Amino acid sequence: MQPYVELHARSAFSFLRGASVPESYVACWAGLMEQQGVGSAMALTDVDGVYGAVRFHGAAKKQGIQAHVGAEVSSDDGRYTLLCQSRQGYQNLCRLITRCKLRAGAKHPKPGREARAMFDDLAEFSEGLLCLTGGEEGPLARGFQERRTSKVLERLLAIYGHDNVFVELQRHLDPAEEKRNQAAVELARSWKLPLVATNGVCYASPAERRVLDVFTSLQHKTTLADAGRLLERNSERYLKSTAEMNALFSELPEAIVNTVVISSRLQFTLEDQGYEFPHFPLPPGETIESLLWRLTDEGARLRYTPYHEKARQQIEHELSLINRLQLGGYFLIV
C-alpha cells in the first residue's frame, strides 16, 4: 500500500463551492495520519484565491502537518490546480490571481464575476509553480475532445515544462467521470506525462456533503427540493484514507505514488514568505534598536515634563515588545 497525500481540496473560503473550514480539514487529516498512515502533508487549493491558507497553515503547524499552498485557477478552458514549489511560486500565484481579478473587475464591475486567466497570464507567472490538469472542471474533463485537449496540454507543457505538468484523475463512482478518466490516461500515456490521483475534496467528512448541497442551492438561487441534478451525485468528495485511495486506483498505483513525489517537491510554506520592511537609513554606529530607543527617549523627555517613572516603564515595555517582534524598522519609517 502506497502512502497518499491529498493535493486538491477546497475549503469554505471557496465561496459556496466548499463546505469545511481549514481547521476541519486539518483535524480530519491528523486523525487519518494517526489511524490510516496517510502522508504528513496536505494541500489547500481554494478557487481563485489563497483565502484559507493562513488558517490552514496555523492549524496544520500545531498538528505537525506540512500545509501546501495552491489554488484552482479559472481559465476559459476550465480550472487548473496550481501548487507552490517555492517562494517565487507563491508570489507568482498571488500575482496571477490579482491580475485576473483586477481585469474581471474592470470589465465587469458587478460583484461576483469570475476571474479568468489567459495563457499569456499563466506563462508570465509560471515560475515556481506545478500544474495539475484539474478534476471534473479541468480542461481534460469538460466536453472531452482529443484535439482540443491535446492543444491545451501542448500549451501547458510550453508554459510549465514537462516535469511540472501532471494529468489529474479523480474517481467519485460516476460512470461519465470514469469514461473521461480513461481518455485522460490514454492522453497521458501518449504524451508521456505522469498521472496523479486526487479526490477533489469539498468537505472533510461525508456528513458535510449536506452543507455543500445547501451552498449549491444558494449559488443557483433555488431550494434543496428543487435543486435536482445541481447537487452532488453522492458523498464521495471527502478526505479519504490511504487504503481508500489505493483501492480506488489499484490498477494505477503510480497515480498514488506521485502524490508523495509532488509533495516532496512543494518546499514552500507560509513560514517562508520572508517579508522584510524597507531598510531605514541608519547613522554610523547605530542599529535599528538603538536608534529607535534614542529617538523615543528624546521624544518622551519633551512630551513628559517631568519624565515620570510610569511613562518610562510603559515605553520600555513597548519598545521591548517591538524589538522582540522585529518591528523596529517599521516604527522608524512611520
Tens of pLDDT, residue by residue over 160-207, are 999 999 999 999 999 999 999 999 999 999 999 999 999 999 999 999
Q: Is 316 within the bounds of a domain?
A: yes
DSSP H helical ranges for the chain:
22-36, 53-62, 87-107, 119-124, 146-160, 175-191, 209-219, 224-227, 242-248, 253-265, 288-303, 309-324, 328-333
Q: Is 93 within the bounds of a domain?
A: yes
Q: Is 299 within the bounds of a domain?
A: yes
Domain that holds residue 119: 22-272
- Residues 106 and 112: their CA atoms lie apart, in Å, by 13
Q: Cα 175 vs. chain centroid, distance in angstroms?
A: 29
pLDDT of 73 over the 80 cut: yes
pLDDT for position 113: 62
The residue from 248, 272, 296 where one domain ends is: 272
pLDDT for position 144: 58
pLDDT for position 271: 87
If you average pLDDT over residues 1-5, what whole number do you get? 92
Same domain, 260 and 295: no
Q: Is 295 within the bounds of a domain?
A: yes
pLDDT of 156 over the 70 cut: yes
- Residues 281 and 171: their CA atoms lie apart, in Å, by 58
Same domain, 231 and 325: no
Kindly indicate the confidence band of residue 145, based on its pLDDT and cuts at 50, 70 and 90: low
If you average pLDDT over residues 2-12, what whole number do you get? 96
Same domain, 35 and 76: yes
Same domain, 206 and 308: no
Q: Mean pLDDT score of the chain, rounded to an integer?
A: 93
Q: Is 13 within the bounds of a domain?
A: no
Q: Is 8 within the bounds of a domain?
A: no
Closest to 196 measured CA to CA, from 146, 142, 241, 132 = 132
Same domain, 49 and 123: yes
pLDDT for position 274: 62
Upper half-sphere CA count for residue 93 (Cβ side, 13 Å): 29
**Residues contacting residue 78 through CB under 8 Å, at least 6 positions apart:** 134, 137, 138, 139, 140, 141, 142
- DSSP 3-state assignment of 18? coil
> 250: which 3 cell numbers?
489499484
Task: Read off the pLDDT of residues 273-314 as tens digits, 9 standing for 90 and up.
Answer: 766 667 889 999 999 999 999 999 999 999 999 999 999 999
pLDDT of 112 over the 70 cut: no
Same domain, 86 and 120: yes
Same domain, 123 and 157: yes
Task: Read off the pLDDT of residues 233-260 as tens digits, 9 standing for 90 and up.
Answer: 999 999 999 999 999 999 999 999 999 9
> 138: which 3 cell numbers?
479541468
Closest to 64 measured CA to CA, from 269, 225, 324 = 269
Closest to 143 measured CA to CA, from 229, 76, 237 = 76
Same domain, 139 and 214: yes
pLDDT of 142 over the 80 cut: no
Q: Are 53 and 44 in contact (CB under 8 A)?
A: yes
Task: Read off the pLDDT of residues 46-57 as tens digits, 9 standing for 90 and up.
Answer: 999 999 999 999
- H or E segment to which residue 46 belongs: strand 41-47
Identify the burial level of 210 via C-beta atoms within 10 angstroms of its C-beta, where 0-12 means exposed, 13-18 middle and 19 or more buried. middle
Same domain, 258 and 302: no
Q: Is 184 within the bounds of a domain?
A: yes
- Residues 55 and 96: their CA atoms lie apart, in Å, by 22
Q: Are 114 and 74 in contact (CB under 8 A)?
A: yes
- Residues 95 and 123: their CA atoms lie apart, in Å, by 12
pLDDT for position 218: 96
Same domain, 177 and 116: yes
Q: What is the CATH number of the domain that holds 29?
A: 3.20.20.140
Same domain, 306 and 157: no
Query: What percentage of the chain carries pLDDT values higher than 70?
Result: 95
Kindly indicate the confidence band of residue 109, based on its pLDDT and cuts at 50, 70 and 90: low
Give the sheet arrangement for strand 195-197, strand by strand: 41-47, 66-75, 78-84, 129-132, 165-169, 195-197
Q: Are 238 and 209 in contact (CB under 8 A)?
A: yes
Q: Is 210 within the bounds of a domain?
A: yes
- State the total domains in the chain: 2
Same domain, 315 and 221: no
